[in-house]
Structure 1
Amino acid sequence: MSQNRPISSFIEKHYLHFNAAALVDAAKGYKKHLAEGKKMMITLAGAMSTGELGISLAEMIRQDKVQIISCTGANLEEDIMNLVAHDYYKRIPNYRDLTPEQEWDLLSKGMNRVTDTCIPEEEAFRRLQKHIYELWKDANDKGERYLPHEFMYKMLNSGVLKQYYQIDPKNSWMIAAAEKNLPIVVPGWEDSTMGNIFASYCVTGELKPTTVKGGIEYMTFLADWYTQNAGEHGIGFFQIGGGIAGDFPICVVPMLHQDLERDGVPFWSYFCQISDSTTSYGSYSGAVPNEKITWGKLSIDTPKFIIESDATIVAPLMFAYVLEW
């Protein structure tokens, strides 16, 4: 086993069949895609930030292994929550055994559970609320408008959160993204804690809903970005989980083709999804890649990979392979 890349060497030796082999094929395809000078989008669904994917994803960003990210509003904020409140998180390994009464007790203590991990409301949600509100209010009063991730970048780049850091900043993918001003698409941001908090200020009349730009403006931004960066060969699409984080951005290609009727727009040129969704249930997220051909998202020649497994296990291993760890 190579001492310079112990994880990659282990994977090559032992991951030979089934989902393990699909992981290797997809990782090799990812590296080949980048080696050919093409760019890659990573999409984040689920609670990957709370699962601390930032430990490996931040390095992917720093080493230019990803050029754009699409994520849910939860993943956008939860990486920063972990950054400033990690010491207050509580892990509950026996979460499957909790009674409704025990769940209620967690609520009464301000501990919001995500599988085996409880996010502390006061130290995480409210700590960010204080500072993000000031940015929202300032923009609102000046008549300025920004995308959700741009407000987060402003907060991180201001340095106001440094006093709270409880993990090594190099393990925060949002810090790595902010340092590079990495493009981010956050469809359905309203379905997040910060989105709910923003809405509450709109109900009271303190803020205008238009101060934070929405999904249509993310799609128009993505249309321009894809057009400017796809070249002749297209962008790669690496999807972690399912849902809107993946379904929203992948549609930019058929929109450019079918709705704007632009010629010469390349299809997505690499596709990989880590998922356990079941196709026979009529799931968009679990649709096999070939179905996406019929929607004008992928071409016949697009390399296509499906890894039916747990993304919290698979994604860090794939990133380690791409990084040659």
Structure 2
Amino acid sequence: MIAAMAAMVLLPIEVSDAGWLSDLFKGPSKQAKSAKQAKSPKQAKSPKQAKSPKHVASRKPVTSAKPAASPKRRNVKLAALGPVALPPAALKPVAAACDPSKLRIVLDVGHTAESEGAISARNVSEFVFNLRLAKLIEQKLKAEGFTETRLLLTEGKARRSLFKRVAAANDLRADLFLSIHHDSVPNKFLEDWEFEGKKSHFSDRFSGYSVFVSRNNPDFKTSLSFAELIGKEMKAQGLDYAKQYSQPIMGRHQRPLLNKETGVYRYDELIVLRKTQMPAVLLEAGSIINRDEELKMNSPERREIISSGVTAAVKEFCEPRWAMLGPL
């Protein structure tokens, strides 16, 4: 018995063009070994024939009306080894890989009350937009069972506040970090206008959301995967991404576009993306310097669409299949 098993392991392993993965998890079938030789050539090519010791030890052709299998498919021994050939981690139940009640998500409210970020076409600070949207995302995530979601509000001037929020996220030992922002444009694209008797600026040239990741994040691969899910959900909600970041006219603000379908860009220098010790993504939910899009971003309907998209992305990230296969 031991000698026979050793012979099986030492023989060369070949895999047919399709169907081999499912055989890893199937046991041998006695009926298949006795009956499939008399069936059609397509059925005769099944890798299950390789499980009979007689087929392993003998290289004589099977007697039938047609050849049972080509030499290429004759030695399909992978299934004979059984699931023990897989790494133990691959056999570990994946359902426990992401418990929504334990997944710690930090929702970073971009900018601060002292450093408000961009100013919209109608003179509303970006910080106001960021806070409203982040609160709604927090509410939806907690309602879906992600009870460890934390809203991160920081104080102070711009650069100092960036390091504060990174330190806070790291101290919380977050599993995911999502920074919420609303977009503007470089000054050279701004035009003057008046709104309610006050001077302001606008640019109706560009619109759309965008998602950013940093290659310098310690877990860039997971950051990118989460960013892809967010972009996919934004697109599924009927939103378009901001395409200007891939154009030379943006000058030093131009960024590498990683996925032209989902609007995911690479922005390696962003402190909140590269200094965090967990997967990190920054979402520019839309342009508030564009007069039409500002009105949409200010509406409950658009906040509902974006918050639902982010929530769906987190839920998909946490599905059991993610732990073993990654995003499809």
Common fold by TM > 0.5: no
**Bin of the TM-score, shorter chain as denominator length:** under 0.3
Name the TM-score, length of structure 1 as normaliser. 0.24
Instruction: Please say which structure displays the higher CA radius of gyration.
Output: 2
Q: Which has a greater percent of helix? A: 1
Q: Relative contact order: is structure 1 or structure 2 higher (C-alpha 8 Å, sep ≥ 6)?
A: 1
